[in-house]
Amino acid sequence: MAEIILNVDVRDGVGTGGARAARRAGMVPGVLYGGDKAPVAIAVNEKDFRKSLYTGKLLGHLVTLKYGKETQPVIARDVQFDPVSDRPMHFDLMRVDAKQTIKIDIPVHFINQDQCEAFRQGGSLEVVRHSVEVKVRADHIPEDLIVDLAGHKLGDTIRWTDLKGTKDVEPTITDRDFVIASIKTSSAAISAAADEAADAEAAAEAETAAADVPATEQADDAAEAGAEETTEG
């Protein structure tokens, strides 16, 4: 079963008044919905809810709802926060079967930035999708989808097929290998590349010019230089 257990109470009062009463009692109000049953107004102890929330394994994951002796698998779909205090104000839980296939957004995480040469060359990461909606069995929801940036180059486009952790999931977008992110060339990188190319071209021209001078001319120059030194001595 799921790692997180939410012990809930059923709220008698619904609407704004009932939610406020729950918060005054140190609870976080919520709604349980889905399946073939009617929505139920519930509440969870705020301290316990915060502990579950900060594990990072609550929102968007399969958890166990417990009411008395009854338990059932649910998905935490949404949590609303106070914009000032960041206190959890309301949450939504969806009833599911553990083996049921559901649609859910999975976050995308980028790793090994320090092993990406493109960033040292002035490139920047442009993220198109911070999460991807997928179809997955409720008991196989991955923590995240991974983009390994090691070895990527300037101008690379990272697509769905480049992601790691997609074994048990299927994207809801199926008509194309859609873009997740790209590594853009910044103006600074373009300028640095232009300067490097100019330096390389100047060095090549100098080598060519030196190679074109006849050996006898070089010898005469050397002799003249020696004569001048002798005269000065």
The amino acid present at 83, given as its one-letter code, is P
Structural domain ending residue among the three candidates 31, 63, 98? 98
49 and 131 together in one domain = no
DSSP string, 78-124: EEEE-TTT--EEEEEEEE--TT-EEEEEEEEEEE-GGG-HHHHTT-E
CATH of residue 30's domain is 2.40.240.10
Q: Does position 3 have pLDDT exceeding 80, yes or no?
A: no
Burial of 104 (0-12, 13-18, 19+ CB in 10 A): buried
For residue 1, the model assigns a pLDDT of: 43
Structural domain ending residue among the three candidates 162, 185, 208? 185
83 and 134 together in one domain = no
The DSSP 8-state label assigned to residue 71 in this structure reads E
170 and 206 together in one domain = no
78 and 20 together in one domain = yes
- For the sheet with 131-137, list strands across it: 145-148, 101-111, 131-137, 170-171
192 and 174 together in one domain = no
For the stretch 33-74, pLDDT in tens is 988 888 999 999 999 999 998 888 888 888 999 998 889 999
For residue 61, the model assigns a pLDDT of: 85
Q: Which of 10-24, 115-129, 165-179 bottoms out in mean pLDDT, i.e. has the lowest? A: 10-24
For residue 214, the model assigns a pLDDT of: 58
The better pLDDT of the pair 149, 207 is held by 149
Give the domain range for residue 129. Answer: 102-185
For residue 212, the model assigns a pLDDT of: 61
Q: Does position 185 have pLDDT exceeding 90, yes or no?
A: no
Q: Does position 120 have pLDDT exceeding 90, yes or no?
A: no
118 and 162 together in one domain = yes
| Average pLDDT of the residues in 117-131 | 91
Number of domains in the chain: 3
For residue 19, the model assigns a pLDDT of: 87
